[in-house]
Amino acid sequence: MEASKLNLLCFSLFGWVLVSAVVTPTLSHSQETSPPLKTIEAEGIGSDPATAARKFNAPYSWWGVVEPDVRSAVVQSDVPRARGLLLSPATADDLKALSASLARAPKDGDIFAFPNIPSIYLMAERWPESRVVIPWFDFLPDRPAQAEARRLLASPPATIVNLRLPAVAWDAHERLFRGGQPMGQRDIQAAIAALTDDRKKYRLDLRREVSPGSVLEVWHRK
């Protein structure tokens, strides 16, 4: 199997762009020294045929964001940071639209991506003016999340990329990790809404349903 095919096992538009960028040259080079299957087995995928088959059928699924069958990956991306990867048609379209939207961001402005899409910073080649790079529910504690919400309101970023996940993703994490109490990320969610809902300070540049119930929005400051 070609190395570019194998990349899809670790590629998802909203979680693993950085991993793919690192793994791509590694797998390509490994073809000269060892069979690609060894690389897969090292990750625990190829040791069980049934597990490998399931991974090809559903390479990525995480709280509402789903990547389709590997065999549907027939479109070669020309988007920077993903160039040469074989993607499903839907993922290729989403990635191209997102890349174009990020290119329309205010020049030299900062960016904030929420809640589990740090790969956005790699694509945009810019960082948030914050130490919070991954504000995911079971990664960032409540107090830093609440502080980040206050920072957003006090110093609104030039671009906000917000992945609206299904309610079950929020509710389940509060049940599993917060004893049913609201997470500090709710404050970040509220801050983004306060900045964007009235559309006075921001314009909605992109809105796409990237998986059923999961909607990606890109907001640029006016």
pLDDT one-digit tens code per residue, 83-136: 998 999 999 999 999 999 999 999 889 999 999 898 899 999 888 888 899 999
Phi-psi region of 64 (alpha: psi -120 to 50; beta: other; left: phi over 0): left
How far is residue 32's CA from residue 199's CA, in Å, rounded to a whole number? 54
pLDDT of 47: 57
Number of H helices, E strands in the chain: 9, 8
pLDDT band at 164 (very low <50, low <70, confident <90, very high): very high
Query: Which residues, in sequence order, are CB contacts of 136 under 8 Å at separation 6+?
Result: 115, 116
| Lowest-confidence pick of 16-30, 66-80, 138-152, 153-167 | 16-30
Distance of alpha carbon 6 from alpha carbon 70, whole angstroms: 9
Whole-angstrom distance, CA of residue 177 vs CA of residue 154: 28
The answer, yes or no, to whether residue 18 has pLDDT greater than 70, is no
- Bigger pLDDT: 191 vs 41: 191
Residue 95 is predicted with a pLDDT of: 94
Residue 6 pLDDT > 70, yes or no? Answer: no
Q: Strand 159-164 vs strand 111-114: parallel, antiparallel, or unpaired? A: parallel
Asked if residue 62 has pLDDT above 50, the reply is yes
Give the mean pLDDT of 11-30.
Answer: 38
User: What is the predicted pLDDT for the residue at 1?
Assistant: 38
Question: In whole angstroms, what is the distance from residue 136 CA to residue 144 CA?
Answer: 11
Which band of pLDDT confidence, cut at 50, 70 and 90, is reported for residue 66?
confident
DSSP secondary structure letters along 138-151: TTS-HHHHHHHHHH
What is the pTM for the complete model shown?
0.77
Domain ranges of the chain: 3-88, 104-221
Rg (CA), the chain: 18
Percent of the chain topping pLDDT 70: 79
